Amino acid sequence: MKHFLKALSLTFLVSAFLLTGCSKAEETSATAPSTTSTSTSTTQAAAPKVEYKDELHVAVSQEAPSLDLHKNSSAIAREIGRGTIWEQLFTLNANSEVVPEIATGYDVSEDGRTYTIYLRDNLTFHNGQHLVADDVVASMNRWVKGFGAARNQVGDSKFEKVDDYTVKITLAEPSLLFPSLMAGATQPAAIMPASVCADEDSRGFVKEYIGTGPYKFVEWKLNDYILLEKYDDYVPYGDPNKPLDGWAGYKHAYTDKIYLHYVLESATRVAGLQTGQYDVEFQVDDQAYATISNIPGMNLLKYKSAEVALVFNKKEGLGSDVNVRKAIRSLVNAEDMMLAREGVGMYDLSSSYMNEGQAFWISNVGDKYYNLNNPVLAKEYFDKAGYDYKTPFRILAATINNFDKIALVLQQELEAMGVPTDLTLVDWPTLTQFRADPTKYDLFITSFGNVPIPTLKLYLGATWPGWSADPTLQEYMRDIGTSKTMEDAKAAWDKAQLYCWEDYVPVVGLGTQYSSYGLSDKVEGAQLYNGLFYWNVKVKK
């Protein structure tokens, strides 16, 4: 089965993520002189040439624990690194179709198990090293090891070198969705030198950020900024005369330097945007959104970006009791929680784990159990669990992006029915450490970015914090991944989501959040596709 097209498409079409953009960069050139029939010529004055800045300054509200995308699911790390520093074998276009990036194409064996992937032969890493199959094998096997959804799909299979520009993997079972897994993971399958893969710090993250993307990592000044610089030897792919298509296409890298400034206070970010200190504000909250919308010379972009959820610790503590989980499911008022965090007009209520960006997979089979706001039913489940109404229910949340506001609503709801709580509010890097320790919490609060297929939902993984190791759920997830047709995969997904809402309750989904970005109207070429990316951005002086 051959797949050598420049823009690969799977045998199915997953509906498009919402795609929004600013105006494209335009330059005005001089107009040629015109001549009259009486030989009297008039010369039209040349319009002034547009000049652009060498730097782009972005204000972000949080710091990533690392830019190692193999082992890091934070949105800020993806938006800094994916496609910018790091590239992948495959990426996604605006229709969620798989497109080659470092790869040129692939073959699939007749039994659907062996994927043979062909590599571009003209790429170098930011350290000048030529990219070959050894680097891809090391990167992909490290990604599988660090990413639960990939590990569930791949099992004990390994990527292997065929020759310097060909790799392959033979799966234990056929996988129709494997290319989407490689292209759209929330822990992206970044390709880096084999030597970088082998050199990790005490936390298990790589020590160097060396990829093949249009920008190279230069500096990380903790609690201040990250600096990226244009990689002069970058080899783009795609048609330079066509616009970006989702994450795919020709990357121009017009701007020499990108500074990503860590600015905790929303008011400070907005003020910096207004004065020109920053060109872009990442993750505008609802109050800042209203402020920026009334500032002349500012633009706002907004899209449905993530699912907000309460994630139970199912390994130990109160969250490990399914009846306690059902009690919380029955108690929560999803609208109060989403309103507290997002503000009016910045969220949608839905029981579906997949949102409008992945319309094929939308399933409302959990509606019966969603947003019940029923303390009486909740007490019945607490009593069924044998709960003593003395042991505190431990809630873990980050202080960024208003996750703490959801925690406060949940705390009030629990204490109103006689359940004491222990609320731990920490910064984002600390939360990513604490959630990996099952002794520290019964439930934590976070959001999950859009993914093209449900098997990429992190909270359904057996080894991701929360530990959804339930055998029945994992069998459903395997059924999705090994389905022979998309219809069979969707049927398996419906069963999995109903099981989660009705019986297992690994999380309580609250709804879909919008993410917003504030931009100076001097910014050209910014485009949204499951995040804002800066490859083709220009900033007028």
pLDDT, tens only, 365-397: 999 999 999 999 999 999 999 999 999 999 999
Distance in angstroms (rounded) separating the CA atoms of residues 254 and 49: 16
Arithmetic mean of pLDDT, 86-91: 98
pLDDT of residue 351: 96
pLDDT at 64 over 80: yes
Distance in angstroms (rounded) separating the CA atoms of residues 235 and 252: 10
Which of the four pLDDT bands, split at 50, 70 and 90, describes residue 401? confident
pLDDT of residue 272: 95
DSSP per residue over 145-171, as a string?
HH-HHHHHHHTT---EEEETTEEEEE-
Residue 441, burial from CB neighbour count under 10 angstroms (0-12, 13-18, 19+) = buried
Residue of 520, 519, 524, 535 lying closest to 50 (CA atoms)? 524
Task: Report H helices in 399-507.
Answer: 403-416, 428-434, 471-482, 486-499
Question: ∠ CA(122), CA(126), CA(130), 5° rounding?
Answer: 35
Which of the four pLDDT bands, split at 50, 70 and 90, describes residue 283? confident
DSSP per residue over 304-333, as a string?
EEEEEEEEE--SSSGGGSHHHHHHHHHH--
Better-scored residue on pLDDT, 243 or 15: 243
pLDDT at 43 over 80: no
Which of the four pLDDT bands, split at 50, 70 and 90, describes residue 24? very low
Which of the four pLDDT bands, split at 50, 70 and 90, describes residue 25? very low
pLDDT at 7 over 90: no
pLDDT of residue 530: 86
pLDDT over 70 for what percent of the chain? 91
pLDDT at 3 over 60: no
Instruction: Note the pLDDT tens digit of each residue in 175-233.
Output: 999 999 999 998 999 999 999 999 999 999 999 999 999 999 999 999 999 999 999 99
Arithmetic mean of pLDDT, 271-291: 90
CATH code given to domain 2-19+63-197? 3.90.76.10
Which of the four pLDDT bands, split at 50, 70 and 90, describes residue 345? confident
Helix 375-384 vs helix 322-331: crossing angle, to nearest 10: 170
Tell me, what DSSP letter sits at residue 500? I
Arithmetic mean of pLDDT, 108-137: 97
pLDDT at 36 over 50: no
Distance in angstroms (rounded) separating the CA atoms of residues 285 and 200: 35
Give CA 295 to chain center in angstroms.
29
Q: Three-class SS of residue 251?
A: coil
pLDDT of residue 47: 66
Please state which of the ranges 7-21, 83-97, 341-355 shows the lowest mean pLDDT. 7-21
CA atoms within 13 A on the CB side of 202: 0
- Which range, 134-143, 283-292, 452-461, is most confident? 134-143
Instruction: Note the pLDDT tens digit of each residue in 413-470.
Output: 999 999 999 999 999 889 999 999 999 999 999 999 888 899 989 999 999 999 999 9
Asked if 215-236+245-303+517-539 and 305-515 have one fold, the answer is no
Better-scored residue on pLDDT, 44 or 205: 205
pLDDT of residue 45: 59
pLDDT at 310 over 70: yes
pLDDT at 9 over 50: no
Structure tokens at 12: 């199915």
Better-scored residue on pLDDT, 12 or 534: 534
pLDDT of residue 475: 95
pLDDT of residue 132: 98
pLDDT of residue 46: 63
Mean pLDDT, rounded, of the chain: 89
Tell me, what DSSP letter sits at residue 95? T
252, 535 Cβ separation under 8 angstroms: yes
Residue of 57, 136, 131, 133 lying closest to 534 (CA atoms)? 57
Arithmetic mean of pLDDT, 256-284: 94
CATH code given to domain 305-515? 3.10.105.10
The rounded radius of gyration (Å) of the Cα atoms in the chain is 24
Distance in angstroms (rounded) separating the CA atoms of residues 345 and 343: 6
pLDDT of residue 211: 98
Give the class (CATH, top level) of 215-236+245-303+517-539.
Answer: alpha beta
142, 196 Cβ separation under 8 angstroms: no
Arithmetic mean of pLDDT, 478-498: 93
pLDDT of residue 19: 34
Arithmetic mean of pLDDT, 127-134: 98
pLDDT at 1 over 70: no
Distance in angstroms (rounded) separating the CA atoms of residues 8 and 177: 13
Distance in angstroms (rounded) separating the CA atoms of residues 384 and 60: 45
Structure tokens at 185: 């993971």
pLDDT at 518 over 90: yes
Better-scored residue on pLDDT, 223 or 44: 223
Which of the four pLDDT bands, split at 50, 70 and 90, describes residue 20? very low
Domain boundaries, the chain: 2-19+63-197, 215-236+245-303+517-539, 305-515
Distance in angstroms (rounded) separating the CA atoms of residues 108 and 10: 12
Q: Three-class SS of residue 341?
A: helix
pLDDT at 15 over 70: no
